[in-house]
Homo-oligomer: A and B are copies of this chain.
Amino acid sequence: MPEFFHVVEPSVVFSLLASFGRTGIEHVGLEEALDRVLAQEVRAEEDLPYGPRATMDGYAVRAADTFGSTENSPTLLALAGRVEMGKLPGFALSSGQACEIPTGGFLPDGADAVVMIEYADRLSERAIEVRRPVTAGENVLGKGGDVVAGKVVLGPGRRLRPHDLGLLAGLGVCQVAVHQRPKVFLVSTGDEIVPANQKPAPGQVRDINRYSISALVTRAGAEVTGFRLVQDIADKLGRALEEGLGSSDAVVLSGGSSVGERDTLVEAVGRFAGAELLAHGIAISPGKPTLLARIAGKPVFGLPGHPVSAMIVAQVFLVPFLRFLQGEALLPGPEGTKREAILATSVPSVSGRQEFVRVRLEEQNGTLYARPVFGRSSMLSSMVDADGLIVVPTHTEGLARGTKVEVTLF
C-alpha cells in the first residue's frame, strides 16, 4: 500500500492557504452586519457629536463665571432657561447666566461647561448658586469629541462587534461593505457511512462529520450550501466534487480512514484539468491523512474520515482559512478562545510532527490546570469530555508536567 507522497509541515499548509483569493464584497444593513468582516475602511462623514453635549445632569455655564466659587463664597448665576432633549436651546448664554441641562443635552451657544447638580443650589425659579469652579469643557463632550469627521473608525478585516455597530449607527452609516460568507460544499465519503437517521446495517456506521464539520463551518461565519454522501468510488467522488466546485467557494470532503480510500480521492482530484495536489498528508497528529488541492482556483480539503481527526483538522486549518476568505488575517489554528493553564501530567510526543492533545480544564486552589483527557484518540466521547486542545510543537519530545500551556477552547 502506498504511503503519503507529499507530507508537509503545518506552516507550509498555511502559506498554501494564503494563496487563495478572498470572497467578493457585498453590502449589508447594520441589522445583518454582526460578526461580518469589513471589506473596506469606514470613515466618519461627520463629527460625533456634531455639537457639545452635557455628560452630566446639571447647569450649563460659562466656565469663567465660576472661577473662585467655594462652599463659603458661591457664585450667583441667573437661570436663562432649560435645555429640552431633542431640541436646540432657543437662547444663547450670556455672562452671569446658567441654564438647566440634562445628560445628553446640547449646550446653548455661549456655554462651555456643565456644573454637576451636586455642586449647585437652586435658589429660585430664576437663580442658582455654584459652589465649585468648573474649567472649560468640564462635563461636556465637545463637537467631534468622540469622533472627528474624516477619521477612519474601522478598518478592513475587522469582524464587527456589537459596539462597532453602535458606533456606525451613531455616525449614520447604515450599510457596510463586507466580504461574502464563503459557500462551502460538504461531502462525506465512505462505503460504510449511512445517514445519521438510518440504523446502520452490520459493518456500517452513521455519518458524524456531516454535523460536526458543518457546525464548525457555520461557526467560522461560512455557509454550508450543499451536502452529498457518496461511496469511495472515484467516479462518484468526481461528480460530487464537480457539483461542489460549480456551486461553492470551497469543497470540504471527509472520509478515507484507510490508505486505499485516500487514493480514491487523489484519483478523483487528478481527473480535473489543471488540478494541483498541494498537500498529501500533513505532519500533524491526529490528522496526518489530510489532503489539500486546488481545482480551477478553488480549495478542496480532504479531511480524514475519522470524526475526531476531522474535527481537529477543521479547527486547526479549515476554520482559520474560512475566516481568512472573509477578509480576516490568516492565523494558524487551532482557532478559538485561549486560556492559559498548567499542564497537570506530562505529555509524551513523537518529535517531527505537531500534536494536538485534548485537555480538560480543572481549577484547584485558584490555579487552572490542563489535564489531558484519558482515553483513546478514536473516541468521540473524548472530544465531548474535553474543554479544548493544546499544541505540542513539532520539534519536541513532549511537554513536562507543570509546563505553562495555552489551551484553545472548543
Within 8 Å of chain B (Cβ to Cβ): is A381?
yes
A349 at the A/B interface (Cβ < 8 Å)? Answer: no
* Chain B residues near A165 (CB-CB < 8 A): 211-212, 215
Is the CB–CB distance between A170 and B208 below 8 Å?
yes
The residue of chain B having its C-beta at the shortest distance from the C-beta of A311 within the complex is B163
Q: Do B257 and A163 have beta carbons less than 8 Å apart?
A: no
Number of interface residues of A (CB under 8 A): 90
User: In the complex, A207 Cα to B30 Cα: how many Å?
Assistant: 12
* Contact A203-B141, Cβ < 8 Å, known A48-B380, A257-B102, A381-B146: no
Q: What's the least CB distance linking A307 to chain B, in Å? A: 5
Instruction: Give the docked Cα–Cα distance between A169 and B207 (Å).
Output: 7
Is the Cβ of A170 less than 8 Å from the Cβ of B86?
A: no
A150 within 8 A of B: no
The yes or no answer to A117 lying at the interface (CB within 8 A) is yes
Q: Are A218 and B164 in contact (CB under 8 A)?
A: no
| B163-A384 in contact (CB<8A) | yes
Instruction: Give the number of copies in the complex.
Output: 2
In contact, B384 and A55 (Cβ under 8 angstroms): no
B384 A169 Cβ-Cβ under 8 A = no
A377 to B146: give the CA distance in the assembly, Å: 10
Residues of B within 8 A of A340 (CB): 340
Does B162 lie within 8 Å of A212, measured CB to CB? Answer: yes
Asked whether, in the complex, the Cβ of A104 is within 8 Å of the Cβ of B306, the reply is yes
Q: Whole-angstrom distance between the alpha carbons of A79 and B18 in the complex? A: 47
A163 CA to B385 CA in the complex, in Å? 10
By a CB distance below 8 angstroms, the chain B residues around A211 are 30-31, 162, 165-166, 168-169
Cβ contacts A to B, 22 pairs, < 8 Å: A1-B117, A30-B211, A31-B214, A48-B381, A50-B200, A87-B202, A87-B203, A102-B258, A102-B260, A105-B203, A106-B202, A106-B203, A146-B378, A146-B379, A153-B381, A161-B410, A162-B212, A162-B410, A165-B211, A166-B383, A169-B212, A337-B337
A-B pairs with lowest CB-CB distance, top 4: A166-B212, A102-B258, A162-B215, A86-B192
